[in-house]
């Protein structure tokens, strides 16, 4: 059914909870990233999850606030092309780190033997969704049949669309899929060249602005139980050779994540200073929505970056059939917890 509760909460009042300072402190507790005095600076490359949207502002905050420098790191931040592209670039050694959807990590490991693992989670629940303007008349997922859906050719949304359609009870093959690069999606939807788009649910403010219409969202997590969201990925080689470097990086990054959620407007301003054509209001609203997917009772107790591994096990138990894996994957093949 159309998504409403969490988005309305995020946009109409739950952001008051940004004052939950104890959560912030526990979510990014002091570690070597706070006071590391490295003799040398390690240069690394990092890609955002999906273009340059407000949801990725936290990496720019971590950089601007000196957390990477404190950890002895110099981070080159580039726009990402989606989970599959990011995974391939990490495996090829062109990136050290990037956010990758957990289900996509399992799929590329099983089907293409891409040697990457999640080392720290960003989103406890998946942001992946289908967005449609109210004017399109799509009130439930099954009404996508016979309509045009635009999405990134190598994004997590696309990889998971088949399993989502099966779980939601409609024929995914009856949907006309239009491969579209992420920056073009708002214009495609506004121009009527697609009836709906694959996007993160935090994209609602951007698409409402582009279409001048209210947006209906259908989150994948509504029909795929235990579906977590993005995590920071690294290669098997780096995990084996330098886990301490990974912990330094994710610690610094999680400081930026917490600070971005605590002050979305400041985070959006930081991003605007570093990235062309960032709308500060929309970027801030994305972070406000995202907070509900990042800060949970579990992270309050265990800290940002951690996740209940039983959820991952439960998902992997059904993944071979649901995600059409060519071979089963175990949790230790796709997840190496290195957040402090």
pLDDT, position 154: 66
Total Cβ atoms within 10 A of residue 88? 17
The answer, yes or no, to whether residue 67 has pLDDT greater than 60, is: yes
Query: Rounded mean pLDDT of 29-34?
Result: 49
The answer, yes or no, to whether residue 156 has pLDDT greater than 80, is: no
pTM: 0.82
47-82 residues labelled b (16+ CB within 10 A) or e (exposed): bbbbbbbbbbbbbbbbbbbebbbbbbbebebeebbb
Query: Rounded mean pLDDT of 283-302?
Result: 96
- pLDDT, one tens digit per residue, over 172-212 is 999 999 999 878 999 999 999 999 999 999 999 999 999 99
pLDDT, position 20: 36
Provide the percentage of residues in the chain whose pLDDT is more than 70: 88
pLDDT, position 321: 81
* Cα Rg of the chain (Å, integer): 19
Identify the helix (H) or strand (E) that includes residue 78. strand 73-78
pLDDT, position 155: 66
224 — pLDDT class (breaks 50, 70, 90): confident
Are 119 and 105 in contact, with CB atoms under 8 Å apart? no
50 — pLDDT class (breaks 50, 70, 90): confident
Query: Rounded mean pLDDT of 265-283?
Result: 96
- pLDDT, one tens digit per residue, over 93-130 is 999 999 999 999 999 999 999 999 999 999 999 999 99
Q: Residue 123, Cα to own-chain centre: how many angstroms?
A: 6
pLDDT, position 82: 84
Are 70 and 33 in contact, with CB atoms under 8 Å apart? yes
Is domain 128-222 classified as CATH 3.40.190.10? yes
Q: Sheet holding 128-133: strands in order across?
A: 176-179, 148-151, 196-200, 128-133, 215-219
Identify the weakest region by mean pLDDT among 3-12, 87-96, 160-169, 291-300: 3-12
Q: Count of alpha carbons within 13 Å of 257, Cβ hemisphere only?
A: 30
Domain 17-125+227-334, CATH:
3.40.190.10
Domain with CATH 3.40.190.10 in the chain: 17-125+227-334, 128-222
Computed over every residue of the chain, the mean pLDDT equals 88
The answer, yes or no, to whether residue 337 has pLDDT greater than 50, is: yes
Residues whose CB is less than 8 angstroms from the CB of residue 293 and which lie 6 or more positions away in sequence, other chains included = 123, 124, 125, 127, 202, 229
Total Cβ atoms within 10 A of residue 106? 26
Q: Sign (positive/negative) of CA torsion 37, 40, 41, 43? A: negative
The answer, yes or no, to whether residue 25 has pLDDT greater than 90, is: no
The answer, yes or no, to whether residue 6 has pLDDT greater than 80, is: no
221 — pLDDT class (breaks 50, 70, 90): confident
Rounded Cα distance between 82 and 122, Å, is 15
């Amino acid at each position: 059914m159309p998504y409403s509760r969490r988005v309305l909460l995020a946009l109409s009042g739950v952001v008051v909870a940004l004052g939950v300072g104890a959560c912030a402190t526990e979510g990014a507790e002091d570690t070597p990233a706070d006071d590391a005095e490295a003799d040398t600076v390690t240069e690394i490359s990092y890609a955002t999850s999906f273009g340059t949207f407000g949801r990725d502002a936290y990496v720019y905050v971590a950089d601007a606030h000196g957390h990477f420098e404190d950890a002895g790191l110099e981070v080159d931040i580039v726009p990402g092309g989606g989970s599959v592209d990011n995974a391939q670039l990490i495996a090829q050694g062109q990136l050290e780190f990037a956010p990758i959807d957990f289900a996509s990590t399992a799929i590329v490991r099983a089907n293409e033997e891409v040697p990457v693992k999640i080392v720290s989670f960003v989103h406890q629940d998946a942001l992946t969704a289908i967005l449609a303007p109210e004017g399109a008349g799509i009130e439930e997922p099954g009404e996508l049949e016979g309509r045009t859906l635009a999405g990134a050719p190598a994004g997590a949304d696309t990889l998971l669309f088949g399993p989502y359609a099966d779980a939601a009870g409609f024929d995914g093959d009856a949907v006309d899929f239009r491969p579209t690069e992420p920056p073009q999606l708002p214009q495609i939807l506004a121009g009527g060249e697609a009836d709906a788009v694959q996007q993160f649910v935090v994209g609602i403010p951007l698409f409402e602005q582009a279409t001048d219409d209210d947006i209906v969202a259908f989150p994948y997590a509504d029909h795929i139980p235990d579906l977590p969201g993005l995590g920071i990925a690294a290669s098997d080689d780096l995990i084996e050779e330098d886990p301490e470097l990974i912990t330094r990086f994710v610690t610094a990054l999680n400081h930026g994540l917490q600070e971005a959620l605590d002050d979305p407007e400041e985070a959006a301003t930081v991003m605007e200073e570093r990235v062309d054509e960032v709308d500060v209001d929309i970027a801030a609203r994305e972070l406000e929505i995202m907070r509900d997917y990042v800060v949970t009772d579990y992270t309050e107790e265990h800290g940002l970056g951690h996740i209940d591994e039983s959820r991952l096990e439960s998902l992997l138990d059904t993944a071979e059939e649901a995600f059409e894996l060519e071979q089963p994957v175990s949790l230790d093949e796709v997840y190496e917890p290195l957040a402090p």
